[in-house]
């Protein structure tokens, strides 16, 4: 059975990629064509475009993710993939409400994860493998509940299914079906590795560029607390502006309930906070 390490740009999945060799390492990068999210170095933009096989302007994730993945690419072979640009997903015809605005992803409907991460990885799987594989997930010791929730959704064969379009009905509508595609594995839990073990490893292996204040996932991930997002707006103003504009263009829809990103960005905190004041629970849920 083929083995796959799914990389997110986080410390846990990067650890797995280096310490649990697999036949394939796949990294899915969130893409944006908006100037607000443009990566500053045109030479690096071209390198990433060549790796993805399409024009890449920037990402709604922190720019440091690019350096991290390029550092890892010097040690292991990585398949770089991407989906449609985030703003195109939001503004697609499928996502339009009766008032003409577009629904925004939120804690109840995480369609961003589906379109920006799961769909591109599955399409890569269809092209490269098209048979059930073992895919490593970066849950650590202490995160058994997350693993168990994932396991509870598996088939009796221990496989994960994904709902995709498998054809067309006679009336032209999409015909949907379930496809078994991967068996999730949790090597860090199996080997008893905790968050502190992963942190200690990277403290001793600084050749990968995990900068201070780096968190993978989108800068404006709606899973993050308003206080954390306010800190992000101070460090990554342009990218948080992208999230605020998405809301303003699609009002009254918002990423978070009862609070706009413009309000979060304009909020003056009483004390100056550093990233050390936050825990990894603030980082969001798409990547490890």
Residue listed under structure tokens 């990294």? 27
Instruction: pLDDT band for 86, please (50, 70, 90 cuts).
Output: very high
Quick one: which of 61, 56, 62, 63 has its CA closest to 40?
Answer: 63
The least confident of 173-182, 210-219, 275-284 is 275-284
Q: DSSP state, 1?
A: -
Per-residue pLDDT at 278: 46
3-state SS, residue 177 = strand
Q: What is the pTM of this model?
A: 0.90
**Torsional sign, CA 236, 270, 226, 117:** positive
8 Å CB contact between 126 and 164: no
pLDDT, tens only, 90-142: 999 888 888 888 999 999 999 999 999 999 999 999 999 999 999 999 999 99
Q: Which two structure tokens, joined as six digits, stand for 126?
A: 């269809």
The least confident of 22-31, 108-117, 157-166, 264-273 is 264-273
3-state SS, residue 228 = helix
What's the rounded Cα separation, in Å, for the pair 4 and 125?
A: 10
Contacts of 155 (CB under 8 A, 6+ apart): 161, 180
8 Å CB contact between 9 and 70: no
- If you average pLDDT over every residue of the chain, what do you get? 91
Q: DSSP state, 256?
A: B
Helical pair 64-73 and 42-52, crossing angle rounded to 10 deg: 60
Instruction: pLDDT band for 277, please (50, 70, 90 cuts).
Output: very low
- Once rounded to an integer, what is the mean pLDDT over residues 78-85? 97
């Amino acid at each position: 059975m083929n083995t796959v390490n799914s990389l997110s740009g986080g410390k846990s999945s990067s650890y797995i990629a280096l310490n649990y060799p697999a036949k394939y390492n796949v990294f899915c990068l969130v893409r944006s064509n908006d100037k607000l999210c443009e990566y500053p170095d045109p030479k690096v933009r071209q390198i990433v475009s060549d790796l993805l096989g399409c024009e890449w302007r920037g990402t709604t994730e922190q720019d440091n993710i690019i350096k991290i993945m390029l550092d890892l690419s010097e040690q292991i072979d990585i398949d770089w993939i991407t989906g449609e640009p985030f703003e195109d997903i939001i503004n697609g015809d499928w996502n339009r409400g009766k008032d003409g605005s577009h629904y925004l992803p939120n804690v109840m409907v995480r369609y961003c994860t589906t379109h920006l991460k799961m769909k591109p990885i599955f399409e890569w799987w269809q092209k490269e493998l098209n048979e059930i594989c073992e895919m490593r997930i970066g849950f650590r010791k202490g995160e058994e509940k997350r693993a168990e929730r994932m396991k509870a959704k598996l088939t009796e064969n221990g496989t994960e299914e994904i709902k995709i379009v498998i054809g067309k009905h006679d009336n032209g509508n999409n015909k949907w079906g379930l496809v078994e595609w991967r068996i999730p594995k949790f090597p860090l839990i199996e080997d008893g590795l905790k968050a502190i073990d992963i942190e200690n490893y990277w403290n001793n292996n600084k050749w990968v560029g995990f900068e201070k204040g780096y968190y993978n996932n989108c800068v404006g991930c709606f899973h993050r607390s308003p206080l954390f997002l306010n800190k992000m707006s101070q460090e990554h103003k342009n990218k948080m502006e992208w999230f605020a504009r998405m809301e303003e263009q699609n009002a009254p829809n918002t990423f978070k309930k009862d609070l706009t990103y413009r309000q979060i960005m304009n909020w003056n905190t009483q004390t100056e906070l550093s990233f050390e004041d936050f825990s990894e629970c603030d980082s969001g849920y798409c990547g490890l």
